[in-house]
Amino acid sequence: MDLSMGMELLNHDFVAFLTAVLQIMASLFVFFLGIGVVAVLVMYWADKHQTSHTIRRNYPVIGRFRYFFEHVGEFFRQYFFAGDREEMPFNRAQRSWVYRAAKNVDSTVAFGSSKPIKESGSILFLNCPYPTLTEDARETASVLIGPHCEKPYRPNSVFNISGMSFGALSIPAVRALSNGARKAGCWYNTGEGGLSPYHLEGGCDIVFQIGTAKYGVRNEAGQMDDDRLREVAAHEQVRMFEIKLSQGAKPGKGGILPGNKVTEEISKIRLIPVGQDSISPNRHPEINSTGDLLDMIERVRGVTGKPVGIKFVLGAENWLHDLCAEIKKRGSQSAPDFMTIDSCDGGTGAAPMALMDDVGLPLKESLPFVHNLLLEHGLRERVRIISSGKLINPSDAAWALCMGADFMVSARGFMLALGCIQALQCNKNTCPTGITTHIEKLQRGLVPEDKAERVKFYHDNLVHDIELIAHSCGVDEPRKLRRYHARQVMGNGQSTPLDKLFPYPETKS
């Protein structure tokens, strides 16, 4: 009897408790519903009477969803709507190959290629009837850079990491790239943001980039400081210096680092104020002519004792003719030790659309032009060529070797290896993969130890597949690829040999 009464009381209490909870929930629902109705009415009135947005003025409240769907569409388009070969700057097929290579998983495909091989501009490599046997294959030939320098450099790899600045990239991203570069045996270009401890801690070879703002080697007036230059060169890991004249995504404009990315640490490394937008000059103020450029190269080489080159996206051509002529006057020792040629479709974290879309020449035109020009002036063996710009897959890199490159570099390829999902948030400090953000909560997802392995695997698998293409074409190592080993599809769907499209010049003595 007591047990029955106890259960009755318990049930009664539970019902009372549940009733009270439901009443509270109902009250909260009515409360928030009221707030929601008031908010909608306020937005309706505001939209109806504002004059900036036509859609919102004509369709109050509902018109706001246009901007929401426009925003989320950037993220969902690649998963639900775009085909494998449709997106820009890199389609799903290109990204998927990088992801598989970085994870070191099976990168074979079944049932046939999805690549539109008849599309104008497509490159077709010419396999030979007697491809190179595995036992006859050789390692990629070693190439010396800076033979006239006190400390010349002989890189280990044909494929390397292009310029990405600390500041534009997060600490975990730089750590992963630095350690991954050491594991892969390739170099890592600092970008124009100066040399950080995170570049050095991985133990990789480093190319120090000197941008127009001279970050890391500047004085208070923003001019290059020889003492700071010596401090950087004193690091044994720093193997070369690259003077950046321009880059493909924004030729004629300097680097842009938003103030919300300029932390105290970044300000110390770059030697700039904390929290302020850092806008580099659109060119080196002290370089006004061909002579000035060669003087700058000689100054940096003299102070550091290491190879010095220039990076540019080709537009006007006359300055290169003048440069070769001036080198002939001064002697071949005055030449830049290397030229990094960027493509007009190169990437960056922030650039005006007018420059990103419509200024500069693509690598398909500029690379053969520069190679031929150096041949004509007898400078090709003196000046090494490094090619950059969307070379993230083996076929793109192999094409660059055919056209005359000594080395290839990639930034976005290695960003994809780190886990980049092409969210297009690089300039907003909200990168969801922790690569281009300084928000620690977002950086947490990027584990440097894990991603360093992926950097190595991506590099190794890409180089391996370049070798596959070379061996299929009948040469025993990639640097023996020539223009006659590939053809380019033209507008009529027929292909033409690259050496016919871009004939080699007669060399001058």
CA 336 centroid distance within chain: 24
What confidence tier does 111 reach under pLDDT thresholds 50, 70, 90?
A: low
% of residues, the chain, pLDDT over 70: 86
What confidence tier does 365 reach under pLDDT thresholds 50, 70, 90?
A: very high
pLDDT at 196 over 50: yes
pLDDT at 291 over 50: yes
H/E element, 339: strand 338-342
pLDDT for res 204: 97
Residue 192, burial from CB neighbour count under 10 angstroms (0-12, 13-18, 19+): buried
What confidence tier does 159 reach under pLDDT thresholds 50, 70, 90?
A: very high
CATH entry, 153-427+446-466, from 3.90.1640.30, 3.20.20.70, 3.30.365.10, 3.30.300.90: 3.20.20.70
CA distances from 377 to 167, 363, 381, 461 (A): 40, 21, 11, 36
pLDDT for res 509: 42
| Calpha distance 144→153 (Å, rounded) | 6
Q: What is the pLDDT of residues 208-256, one digit of tens each?
A: 999 999 999 999 888 999 999 999 999 999 999 999 998 766 666 677 7
Paired with 241 in beta bridges are: 208, 308
Identify which has the larger pLDDT, 26 or 438. Answer: 26
| Contact of 156 with 456, CB cutoff 8 Å | no
| Calpha distance 197→190 (Å, rounded) | 11
pLDDT at 368 over 60: yes
CA distances from 273 to 157, 226, 318, 477 (A): 37, 21, 38, 49
Reduced to 3 DSSP states, what percent helix, strand and coil does the chain have, rounded to the nearest 5? 45, 10, 45
| Contact of 344 with 313, CB cutoff 8 Å | yes
pLDDT for res 72: 61
Q: What is the pLDDT of residues 375-408, one digit of tens each?
A: 999 999 999 999 998 898 999 999 999 999 999 9
To which residue do tokens 């000046």 refer?
Answer: 383
In this structure, the chain runs to a length of 509
Identify which has the larger pLDDT, 457 or 419. Answer: 457
Q: What is the pLDDT of residues 142-152, one digit of tens each?
A: 899 999 999 99
- Helix 448-472 to helix 171-184 angle (10° resolution) is 40
Identify which has the larger pLDDT, 411 or 280. Answer: 411
Enumerate residues 6+ apart whose C-beta is below 8 A from 216.
Answer: 193, 194, 195, 208, 228, 232, 269, 270, 271
What confidence tier does 325 reach under pLDDT thresholds 50, 70, 90?
A: very high
Q: Which of 369, 367, 400, 381 is nearest to 337 (CA)?
A: 381
| Calpha distance 333→328 (Å, rounded) | 10
Residues 255, 261, 264, CA angle at the centre, nearest 5°?
110
pLDDT at 19 over 90: no
Domain residue limits, the chain:
2-71, 153-427+446-466
| Calpha distance 89→417 (Å, rounded) | 16
Q: Of the segments 26-30, 263-267, 298-302, which one has the largest average pLDDT value?
A: 298-302
Instruction: Provide mean pLDDT across the span 99-110.
Output: 82
What confidence tier does 321 reach under pLDDT thresholds 50, 70, 90?
A: very high
| Calpha distance 266→262 (Å, rounded) | 6
Q: Of the segments 45-59, 104-118, 184-198, which one has the largest average pLDDT value?
A: 184-198
pLDDT for res 12: 65
